[in-house]
Amino acid sequence: MHKVQEAWRHLRQQPFHTQLRLLRWNLPMIVLALAALHQFFVQTVIRPLDSSLGWWLELLVYTVTGSIVSWWGVSYIAKNAAQQAETEQDLRRAFMELEDNHQKLLALDRYGQYIAAAPNEDEIYKVAVQAPTHLAEAQSSTIITFDEDKQTLNLAMAWGLSADYVHSLRNHLDHGVSSERCRTCTSLHAHVGSDCPLFGGVNDIAQEDGIQSLVCVPINTDQERVGILTAYFPSADGPKEEQARLLNILGGVIAFAVDSLRSRERQMEALHSLDDVSRSHHTLDVLAAQTLQTAMHGWKTQAGAIFLYQPEEDRWLSLAQEGLGGFASARFVLAQESAQRAFSEQTLILHPVLPEGAPHSLGSIAALPLITEGEAFGALFLGTRRPHGFGQQHADLLLTISHQISLAIRNAQLNEEVQQTAMLRERYRLAREFHDGLAQTLGYLGLQLDRMERMFQKKQYDKIEREINETRQVVRSAYMDVREAIEGLRLRVDDPEQLAYNLETYVRDFALQTGIETHFHASPEHLTAPSHITLQMLRIAQEALTNIRKHARADHVEVQLSWLENQLELRVADNGVGFPDVPRQQGGYRSYGLTSMRERAESVGGRLSLVTGPGQGAVITVTVPMQQPTPVDIPNARVSTPLSASS
């Protein structure tokens, strides 16, 4: 009996489904045990009684025990049936909740896909503002952004709010609600009537619309909090725990999409800016600094550098750097080592995540070789404090930026070399002109002084007077040579494309200084040309007019500038004595000025021709291939006008 009680107590302590299983397995044994117990009682207690009541006692025992067993069995079955029904109801509710959560997760996934595919921030917010009503059973929702300039709140999107509520909220925010509190808020839950900035000024309308509380979901990028998604609820408790988790996941999806979109916009802006910078004509140092700043802005990095390798001296030059510190700092050492590795391997070096606590305090870096025409000549380094700031998904864009920077720097290097070559050639030309002109003139003046000194000693005063007049002419000519040389060095064009206007100005100055009647004509009147062609044409005209003044003995000059059939033509004609007819083998005459003009014409793809003869004057023509010029209006321009000392 004791064992039966123990078994029964053990059975009652088991879960319901376990009780059913044990009863199903042990029910035959339990029935047999009860029947054996009943039969033992009858055989040992009742039947030994020799009485006429024995049969009635046995019937009574059967009746009582049968009733008790039946009652117990029916009660147990009813109780088990009720528990089973309750369990089935719990399972049905759990299944419905699971199905509801599954549907909300699917809805969250759809919203995430729409948000990730949005082409701009407005589309992101347009989709995101609808989500809380579906995911958290919110009554309505808004997207609040931060005005960076005014440091105030801005209502970007609203969904489900009444027109009066939206109007009042917008007016409230337009009065300049500071964004600082919302940037740093950590409670993120407020009841109507509280001092929350989003309830301020709209409490009455909120209560009329049945809004009792709000929950803010921060939109945090890697850099900062850029906005908040606000969900409004009709109850003071706000969303359930699982709904709050869905909203937090949604906030992360929105933040990632906004951050990715802004990063792409900055990077594309950096590409366009690099293209503009590469077209500029800055010095190499200025260009490197500008390209580095553009690249760092595009990736929002805190450190960057451009290194150039100088093979002649086997050393590295830090052409530009920001945020690296001194040469001995941990950041500079990391940048130099990464740049040298990218240069030597001629490949992109990426470290998406660097160990925390390192002295350089950078979380992610990228180093790219600078390569043109298959040859590496330097490296670009970028570093940010954010982990995963650079990853393999950024490789193509980083290589594009590296390519543009490489072209810009190489073009700047070539431009400097061209400028240095042009400077050397100009110095050589000036040295040759001074040697052939001013130096010989000074030598002649020295001899004249010696002659006049001897004449003075011999008291040949009439000859001295003639020599003084001749010397005065030589000094005046030397002064004009020096003046023209100085003007040539100071030649500066304010608007480098206005060829006709600048040439007309120079020709007018020539006529005023020399007194030679000069005519200038341009067709079209305000003809333009690229700056490099304008400069060379002005230099050629200057050389031609200088030769006319010094050698032609002309009193009339024609200067014509025209464009016809994709060809620019400059024509300078005079009525002077022309070029002397001296056989080349005698070596009596060499025109260095003509050689200089021909070299200048060829430097811009043009050619020079000369038509002259003794006593016939000279015509110098320069033709340069050029596309159709763009006509512009120049105020007070003077063309097709006779220019002389009287004008």
Neighbours of 308 (CB within 10 A): 20
CA angle 346, 349, 353 (to 5 degrees): 175
Query: Three-state DSSP class for 337?
Result: helix
- Token reading at 170: 């917008």
In what helix (H) or strand (E) does residue 7 lie, and over which residues does it extend?
A: helix 2-13
DSSP alpha helix (H) spans, 458-530:
461-489, 499-514
- Token reading at 527: 């003809």
Query: Three-state DSSP class for 173?
Result: helix
| Whole-angstrom distance, CA of residue 639 vs CA of residue 277 | 36
| Whole-angstrom distance, CA of residue 20 vs CA of residue 26 | 10
With CA atoms as reference, report the closest residue to 571 among 520, 644, 527, 532.
520
pLDDT value for 207: 87
User: Is-contact 316 340, C-beta < 8 A?
Assistant: yes
CA angle 580, 584, 590 (to 5 degrees): 60
| Whole-angstrom distance, CA of residue 305 vs CA of residue 323 | 9
Neighbours of 245 (CB within 10 A): 13
Pairing of strands 349-351, 364-372: antiparallel
Under the phi-then-psi rule, with left for phi > 0, alpha for psi from -120 to 50, and beta for the rest, what region is 124? alpha
With CA atoms as reference, report the closest residue to 538 among 564, 583, 507.
507
- What is the residue-wise DSSP string for 464-482? HHHHHHHHHHHHHHHHHHH
| Whole-angstrom distance, CA of residue 466 vs CA of residue 486 | 31
Site of tokens 């004057």? 617
Phi, psi of 242 (to 5 degrees): -70, -30
How large is the angle between the packed helices 16-41 and 2-13, nearest 10 degrees?
Answer: 160
CA 562 → CA 621, 629, 638, distances in Å?
11, 11, 15
User: Is-contact 559 519, C-beta < 8 A?
Assistant: yes
Query: Three-state DSSP class for 233?
Result: strand
CA 190 to chain CA mean position, Å? 39
b/e code 374-400 from CB counts within 10 Å (16+ = b): eebbbbbbbbbbbeebbeeebeebbee
CB proximity list for 615: less than 8 A, separation 6 or greater:
577, 578
pLDDT value for 60: 66
| Whole-angstrom distance, CA of residue 327 vs CA of residue 340 | 15
With CA atoms as reference, report the closest residue to 191 among 207, 170, 172, 178.
207
User: Is-contact 342 349, C-beta < 8 A?
Assistant: yes
User: Is-contact 506 522, C-beta < 8 A?
Assistant: no
CA angle 421, 425, 427 (to 5 degrees): 115
User: Is-contact 135 246, C-beta < 8 A?
Assistant: yes
Phi, psi of 175 (to 5 degrees): -80, 0
User: Is-contact 549 529, C-beta < 8 A?
Assistant: no
User: Is-contact 193 162, C-beta < 8 A?
Assistant: no
With CA atoms as reference, report the closest residue to 295 among 267, 265, 261.
267
Pairing of strands 375-384, 517-523: unpaired
pLDDT value for 281: 56
| Whole-angstrom distance, CA of residue 528 vs CA of residue 504 | 13
Query: Three-state DSSP class for 78?
Result: helix
Query: Three-state DSSP class for 257?
Result: helix
Q: Which amino acid is at 79?
A: K
Phi, psi of 22 (to 5 degrees): -65, -40
| Whole-angstrom distance, CA of residue 501 vs CA of residue 505 | 6
Pairing of strands 556-563, 517-523: parallel
Neighbours of 267 (CB within 10 A): 19
Neighbours of 105 (CB within 10 A): 13
Strand order in the sheet with 567-574: 607-612, 618-625, 567-574, 556-563, 517-523, 641-643
pLDDT value for 76: 67
Domains of the chain: 2-94 (no CATH), 124-265 (3.30.450.40), 281-407 (3.30.450.40), 497-647 (3.30.565.10)
With CA atoms as reference, report the closest residue to 58 among 45, 69, 71, 68.
45
In the chain (647 residues long), the average pLDDT of successive 10-residue segments reads: 56 56 56 64 63 62 67 71 76 73 76 82 87 89 82 88 89 83 84 86 87 90 80 90 86 82 66 59 75 82 91 87 90 93 92 90 92 88 88 82 81 71 68 64 76 81 79 73 61 68 88 89 90 87 86 91 90 88 48 79 90 86 84 44 42
| Whole-angstrom distance, CA of residue 349 vs CA of residue 299 | 16
| Whole-angstrom distance, CA of residue 410 vs CA of residue 370 | 9
